[in-house]
Amino acid sequence: MSSFTDLGVPTKLAAALADLGITSPFPIQAATLPDSLAGRDVLGRGRTGSGKTYAFVLPVLARLAESKSPRRPTRPRALILAPTRELATQIEATIAPLAAILGLRTLTVFGGVGANPQIKGLKAGVDILVACPGRLADHIQQGYASLDAVEITVLDEADHMADLGFLPVVRRLMDGTPANGQRMLFSATLDNGVDVLVKRFMHKPVTHHVDSAAEAPIEMTHHVLHVRHDDRFPVLVDLTAAPGRTVVFTRTKRRAKTLTRQLVQAGVPAVELHGNLAQNARNRNMAAFSDGSAQTLVATDIAARGIHVDDVAIVIHADPPVEHKAYLHRSGRTARAGAQGTVITLMTDDQQSEVRDLTRKAGIRPTTSKARPGDALLAQLAPGERTYSAPVSPVPEPVEEQGGQARRGRSGGGRGAATGGPRAAGGGRGTGGGRTGGGARGAGGDQPAGSGARGQGGHTQGARSSGGRSPAARTQGGGARGARRGGTGSTAVHTSQSSSGGAAAFSARSRAAR
């Protein structure tokens, strides 16, 4: 097997990689590095998790260190374009320690955050600029950046940029780079207009197809759990309460937010990632997931590409994706770089034909099983002892008297679900009295998912009675908010008696309360 130095990586860079524990190149790196280090245009195609980032990071660093061109204000020497903020941040995090060794300066540019620090960084001069297309185009239009000194341009996840509608602005940015500069394009597929970029901007590119983007890695095992609609959430709780990191995918931002709150109320520290979050909240939640303070990330397809966290053991499709490419990209958050991983799709009766068609197009043959909360199968798919944490109850909200009725303020952060009530935060039907758990409501009827249970009298700990509203209501809202801030909404951890006992007891409480 070739080493990095055998492939032409400078000794100083190879030693820095070894210090990071990276000693053996992955196939896409071994295939592309000789050509990219020699200055050729390279077109690399490989599925997610195949090691593409180092395949372009290393030649960018090596060639800039060798060229010795001066660093000039507003004129980066290398440009790496990425479709999402998260991917841009992760690319820069990969480059930064190696760039520092070589005396090179890096900067990330993307929307959703203040522009002034980026403008200041551009004016100070930067060697490697990692950017999302939209914000970079804004800086160029306002005169804060120019691409006329770019020696190397990289397009990462080019097909995803096409999916997001970035191709027109990418073409304008590429037109601003010198025609004789080196260009590298990495993509899982070459459809959706990516071939237009290749023909227009790349000069006799050397193409490397390391693996098929239409195939799932062999290190993945795929399972479909056929569940009753009422069992879907308890099964999810059982799986996510197991040791190890889990990424749960939903179709919508609202669903991701609701499901995160429900998991926290059920005792599973979880954080969310979706397009409605401000950038500082995204960063905070990703940090919590990375450092282990929250071992479950609930996300929309914004996390299906480019998000890399070590040792994600399980990917769960709580909502099956709309099309098969999304399934493969979502699933690619596990079994990365040769590691093992498990992919689980939760399927209800009305989703059978949809899931069957999805897996067929994805080229996989999953093991399909019926599952109920507490089944031994769940412990096999997500082994280890289940642990649950208790949500923190916030300070009771202030009460504002209005029209003879107590009205709660909204400072507590949203309506909490009943921890001990029906479906444990699933928002079930209340019919009887005497429930505890905070967030329960009196008066009967159904509640939307995650907004708490309703009952008819006898409720304790902040229930609504027919004669007015209690100031202690919504006692769990702040717990969910705390967890979204990096898992701080959870305290004392207790462990179930067996690997699947937590979900079984959880489901039993749900059925008993109906």
Terminal CA-CA length for the chain: 62
What pLDDT digit, counting tens, does each position of 70-101 carry?
999 999 999 999 998 888 998 999 999 999 99
For residue 11 the two structure tokens come to 């000794």
Q: Rounded to 5 degrees, what angle do the CA atoms 453, 387, 395 make? A: 50
In 3D, which of 183, 173, 169, 201 has the Cα closest to residue 56?
Answer: 183
Strands 270-273 and 399-402: unpaired
What is the C-alpha separation between 198 and 239, in angstroms, rounded? Answer: 43
Question: What domains does the chain contain, in order, with CATH numbers?
Answer: 11-209 (3.40.50.300), 220-384 (3.40.50.300)
Please give the pLDDT value at position 308.
Answer: 67
pLDDT at res. 306: 57
Low-confidence ranges of the chain (pLDDT < 50): 212-217, 392-514
**What is residue 44's predicted lDDT score, i.e. its pLDDT?**
87
Q: How many whole angstroms separate alpha carbon 2 and alpha carbon 401?
A: 75
Q: What is the pLDDT of residue 76?
A: 97
Segment holding 196, helix H or strand E: helix 194-201
Q: Is 406 helix (H, G, I), strand (E, B) or coil?
A: strand
What is the rounded distance in angstroms from the CA atom of residue 344 to the CA atom of residue 224?
A: 6
CA–CA gap between residue 274 and residue 302 (Å, rounded)? 6
CA–CA separation, 432 and 135 (whole Å): 55
Element (H, E) at 262: helix 253-265
Q: What is the pLDDT of residues 353-395, one digit of tens each?
A: 999 999 998 888 899 999 999 999 999 999 999 999 875 443 3
Instruction: Please state the pTM of the whole predicted model.
Output: 0.55
Cα torsion angle, 255, 257, 258, 260, sign: positive
